[in-house]
Structure 1
């Protein structure tokens, strides 16, 4: 599973593909009428909102996810709200997010995979070029 910890995202995002793989009942989807706006101004109309429990750094948090049919190079995007609730500080340079443990007595590192991050970046670049030639 490829997860992007994104300080630029105000929401947690899950793709329809991942949602289907998790075999979650479609009755758990709640409607939403607020579109997502990308940094490039594109509008995405979500399929709905779901709640999922996310476990990381010895914590389990119940998070809202916006369900979309977009096809990013990542399966999940974890936004600023989750980062704050995790008491996390992400570093893109070192591909790590440092979090305080639930008792706040230790620092837990959540390491990213630099090779996978580069592959995702390259996939994003290829898709952006493909989309620009179609217009």
Structure 2
């Protein structure tokens, strides 16, 4: 179970940090090379370490997803992007901090709710990091 996952409809990639990768104890031999870079919303280019397949369980389904392994240090442990949202047939609501999707048979609506307290903690971590960066410049 991984906590502090950001569902980001603005992200074109799923992201996992090196620290979380190590905690999951996944063999490094499973890392595949990647030739492209990522561009953060702040305009900073990030060169990934590689790509790893992870199985993501949510809303009564398991999807195998590619996650780009990076050495960035965000306040979130994982970032799932548009591709995952689409494969989940999900509709995210940032206002309600939830994703609504249909069950595999299409007969049930499943809501995945975010954690308000964790969201506030992640926001404060991000804000504090931004303040530190501003002071350094």
Q: Report if TM-score (shorter chain) is over 0.5.
A: yes
Runs of 4+ deviating beyond 2 Å: none
Question: Counterpart of 2:24?
Answer: 22
- Equivalent position of 2:64 in the other structure: 62
TM-score (norm 2): 0.96
Name structure 1 gaps, 5 residues minimum. none
Q: Which residue in 2 is equivalent to 1:92?
A: 94
In structure 2, the gaps of 5 or more residues are none
Task: For 2:135 and 2:14, locate their aligned partners in 1 and report how far apart those are by CA, in whole Å.
Answer: 30
Distance in 2 between residues matched to 1:49 and 1:134, nearest whole Å: 32
Q: Secondary structure at the match of 1:128?
A: helix
Root mean square deviation, CA, Å: 0.7
1:27-106 correspondence runs (5 A): 27-106=29-108
| Distance in structure 1 (CA, Å) of the matches to 2:50 and 2:135 | 31
Identify which range, 18-27 or 125-134, moves more after superposition: 125-134
- Please report the TM-score for the alignment, with normalisation by the length of structure 1: 0.98
Q: Which of 5, 8, 33 does residue 6 from structure 1 map onto?
A: 8
